[in-house]
């Protein structure tokens, strides 16, 4: 009896989440109004360093992302003067479900459902939210390497792994904005085996002569090509651009 009730309740919540997603998809499709993006900080490693960093955050901490997206959108004549409106929520005290090791098959589908269920339960923001970005902060001294961040188009969700250190703030914003674009439908522009940007769509200036080195990265490639084999991660959003390919995927431009 209780098992049936739990299954029914779970199904009801998924239907509710799906309905909310459909509403967001419609708002996203026309870009006539700002999309409401909520950032949810999480202490990823339980450290005092991450606690202190989260306590130092405010909405101004993410205003440069809004400014960057406004600047990048100017060439595409959007109706919305402010394409995304970013709000900061209170700290979330639970960790999201870990993604599966395999990146295809039923395990990914089940994880996606668990993630959307967890996000619904973890939502502590008192206001409208079209896109939810959960940012896990880690002490860089004890966590020098972080797991890959991700964005879910179907759920308009992102999970970002970030360093709890102001010296990494620029790179954190690059990763957060990259995953935000994933949640809005943009795809990666790099070779997953080498992380090297794909040409032409992964090059900020794909027809420059000489082609290399590039001075900026496309946001969805996430790396600046330096020569045929090497690339570097941009230190801030100022070193990135949203390419026409990504603009097409997120609905900023038409074919």
Domains of the chain from N-terminus onward? 2-185 (3.40.390), 188-255 (no CATH)
The overall longest dimension of the chain from CA atoms, in Å, is 70
Alpha carbon separation from 144 to 4, 31, 37, 46, 161 (Å, rounded) = 45, 38, 28, 15, 12
The structure's pTM equals: 0.90
Long-range CB contact pairs, 69-75, < 8 A, 24+: 69/177, 69/242, 72/241, 72/242, 73/242, 73/252
The first and second tokens of residue 27, run together, are: 């708002």
The predicted pLDDT at position 110 comes to 84
Strand 240-241 to 217-218 pairing? parallel
The per-residue pLDDT for range 169-215, each reduced to its tens digit, is 999 999 999 999 999 999 999 999 999 999 999 999 999 999 999 99
Q: Is residue 130 a contact partner of residue 37, using CB atoms and an 8 Å limit? A: yes
Question: Span 120-141, mean pLDDT?
Answer: 96
pLDDT at residue 99, as a whole number: 86
């Amino acid at each position: 009896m209780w098992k049936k009730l739990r299954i029914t309740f779970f199904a009801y919540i998924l239907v509710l989440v799906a309905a909310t997603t459909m509403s967001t998809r419609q708002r996203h499709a026309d870009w006539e109004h700002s999309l409401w993006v909520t950032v949810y900080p999480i202490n990823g490693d339980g450290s005092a360093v991450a606690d202190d960093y989260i306590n130092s955050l405010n909405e101004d901490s993410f205003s440069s992302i809004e400014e960057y997206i406004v600047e990048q959108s100017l060439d595409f004549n959007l109706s919305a003067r402010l394409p995304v409106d970013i709000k900061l929520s209170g700290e979330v005290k639970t960790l999201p479900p870990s993604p599966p090791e395999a990146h295809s098959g039923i395990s990914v589908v089940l994880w996606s459902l668990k993630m959307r269920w967890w996000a619904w339960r973890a939502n502590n923001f008192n206001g409208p939210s079209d896109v939810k970005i959960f940012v896990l902060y880690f002490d860089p001294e004890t966590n020098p390497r972080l797991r890959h961040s991700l964005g879910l188009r179907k759920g308009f969700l992102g999970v970002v792994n970030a360093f709890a250190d102001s010296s990494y703030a620029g790179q954190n914003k690059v990763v957060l904005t990259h995953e935000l674009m994933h949640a809005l439908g943009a795809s990666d522009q790099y070779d997953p085996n080498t992380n090297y940007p794909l040409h032409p769509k992964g090059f900020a200036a794909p027809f420059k002569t000489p082609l290399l080195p590039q001075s900026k990265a496309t946001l969805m490639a996430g790396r600046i090509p330096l020569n045929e084999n090497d690339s570097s991660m941009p230190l801030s959003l100022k070193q990135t651009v949203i390419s026409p390919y990504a603009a097409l995927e997120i609905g900023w431009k038409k074919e």
